[in-house]
Structure 1
Amino acid sequence: MATDKPYLDIPGTTLFDADMSRKGYALNQFCMSLMKAENRLRFKAGERAYLDEWPMTEAQKAAVLARDLNECIRLGGNIYFLAKIGSTDGRSFQQMAGSMTGMTEQEYRDMMIAGGRSIEGNRRLGEEGDAQPHRQPQGKK
Structure 2
Amino acid sequence: MSHKPEPIFGTTLFDGDQAQKGYALNKMCYSFNSADNRNTFKADEEAYMLQYGLNAQQADAIRTRNVLGLIAAGGNVYYLAKFAGILGLDVQDLGAAQTGMTKEEFKAKLRAAAHQ
Distance 1:90 1:6 in 2: 36
Give the alignment of 1:79-118 within 5 angstroms: 79-115=77-113
Which one-letter code corresponds to 2:74 in the other structure? G
Question: What is the CA-CA distance between 1:5 and the residue it aligns to?
Answer: 4.7
Structure of larger gyration radius = 1
Q: Gaps (5+ residues) in structure 1?
A: 117-141
Distance 2:38 2:3 in 1: 37
Higher helix share: 2
After TM superposition, what 4+ stretches of structure 1 lie above 6 angstroms from structure 2? none
Give the structure 2 partner of residue 135 of structure 1.
none
Say how many residue pairs are matched: 114
Distance 1:78 1:41 in 2: 22
Per-residue CA deviations over 1:91-133 (Å, capped at 9, x if unaligned) read 12112222332222111101111118xxxxxxxxxxxxxxxxx
Give the structure 1 partner of residue 52 of structure 2.
54
- Whether the 8 Å contact between 1:8 and 1:15 is mirrored in structure 2 is no
Compared CA separation, residues 18 and 43, structure 1 to 2 (3 A)? same
TM-score, normalised on structure 1?
A: 0.73
Q: Gaps (5+ residues) in structure 2?
A: none
For the pair 1:16 / 2:14, whether they are aligned, the reply is yes
